[in-house]
Amino acid sequence: MRHTEFWLRMEQALGAGYARSWAEQHVIGELGSRTVDEALAAGESPKQVWEAVWRTLDLPLRDK
């Protein structure tokens, strides 16, 4: 998964106006107690980060 697809999925899940803010502020334990932004900046793959977001938000299987 590329970063562009990751951000499209984030916007679909959270809305275009909220996705970036959520990624900057919400800490996810599965990502080493880091935010999405911190995990991506540290080199985590967008796919792994998306899967953690997907589980955190309890999104439907079709969004995985």
User: Residues 2-12: pLDDT tens digits?
Assistant: 999 999 999 99
In sequence order, what are the residues at sequence separation of 6 or more whose Cβ sits closer than 8 angstroms to the Cβ of residue 23?
10, 35, 36, 37
Residue extents of the structural domains in the chain: 3-59
Dump pLDDT digits (tens) for 4-58: 999 999 999 999 999 999 999 999 999 999 999 999 999 999 999 999 999 999 9
- C-alpha span between 30 and 56 (Å, rounded): 9
pLDDT of residue 26: 97
Q: Is the pLDDT of residue 60 over 90?
A: no
Please give the pLDDT value at position 63.
79
